[in-house]
A and B are shown apart, each in its own frame.
Chain A
């Protein structure tokens, strides 16, 4: 005899409970958490460096990389406390890694926690690590087809920062196409054009970030 059971039950990704617990932990401490996702070399660390002057004193950074603590050292040189997670071969940060990190990494007086995910425009989009928002970072040097090719990352994000705009005169890159495709993937996206070298757009991004943190 067989029995059919209609379930219609959603399967939660692993780590969802840990992520929810982290969200509670951060919320109780009034820490706004941003999960930065983007390809290797898209300029995530440089964007934080460019923003460090304004963020100093209230911001901490968790860095995710397969190997080395170079990014942690770069961030510390800008005057922000940083913690390095090495995933060895892992393609994204997971909630368990963040939980272990915050057990060791002091977050007193921190209002903004930036988590720079492992360089990868695919997997990090699908994992929640206790963040309030995800921000996608895509550089103009990656090619103007990238927003169209990686819609899932944009769908998961509240904003996209198009970086390295100072290089546009040297590239065959239609940055308007990038913005248009990003909005097609997610009409609610905020779009910023930034250069960590000239500082273009960095303040606009930070203004929006502060507003988003205040609205939470």
Chain B
């Protein structure tokens, strides 16, 4: 319901990255949206498209992954759960960490950067 404000903040952050790397264009953006974040993925994608118009992010390929709550067990790795559960691994019984994933994060930005002829490294 408040996806537009998230979209605006994401754009601000992406624009800053583009500026820092002197990139005229952002080609790809990967986001992670918590299922318990209150942010709808489809609405967010729609809002991003709207705010990207005329910016370095215009036309960028946008991927939005969903992250639900999970238990992180030191032995068994990540196990998805329905919601708040005891922090105990159902597989091995060891103490595990409950990660709710209630956030929206920018995972990765891919920028189109101009070749710099003064740099020899590729």
Contact = CB atoms under 8 A, between A and B. Distances in A.
Interface in A1-25: 1-15
A155 B102 contact: yes
A122 to B, nearest CB: 7
Interface residues of A, number: 28
Interface residues of B, number: 34
A152 interface: yes
A5 B6 contact: no
Interface stretch (A78-86, A100-108, A179-187, A207-215): A179-187
Contact of B21 (A5, A125, A155): A5
B12 to A, nearest CB: 10
A127 B39 CA distance: 12
Contacts of B109: 4-5, 7
Contacts of B13: 7, 9, 11
Contacts of A184: 83-84
B105 A152 contact: no
Contacts, number: 89
Interface string B85-107: 01000000000000010111111
A11 B9 contact: yes
B38 A126 contact: yes
Contacts of A13: 2, 5-6
B27 A10 contact: no
Classify the interface of chain A: helix, strand, loop or mixed.
Answer: mixed
B113 interface: yes
B103 A5 contact: no
Contacts of A152: 36, 38
A1 B114 contact: yes
A14 B5 contact: yes
B66 interface: no
- Counting chain B CB atoms within 10 Å of each CB, the highest count among A13, A151, A152 belongs to A13
Contact of B10 (A11, A91, A122, A123): A11
Nearest to B105: A10
A151 B13 CA distance: 30
A12 B6 CA distance: 7
8 closest A-B pairs by CB: A14-B5, A126-B38, A11-B104, A7-B106, A9-B106, A5-B109, A3-B111, A3-B113
Interface of A: 1-15, 91, 122-123, 125-127, 151-152, 155, 184-187
6 contacts: A4-B109, A7-B13, A7-B106, A9-B106, A14-B8, A123-B2
Given A8-B105, A187-B86, 15 more contacts: A1-B115, A2-B110, A2-B113, A3-B110, A4-B110, A5-B17, A7-B107, A9-B105, A11-B104, A11-B106, A13-B5, A123-B1, A126-B2, A151-B84, A155-B83
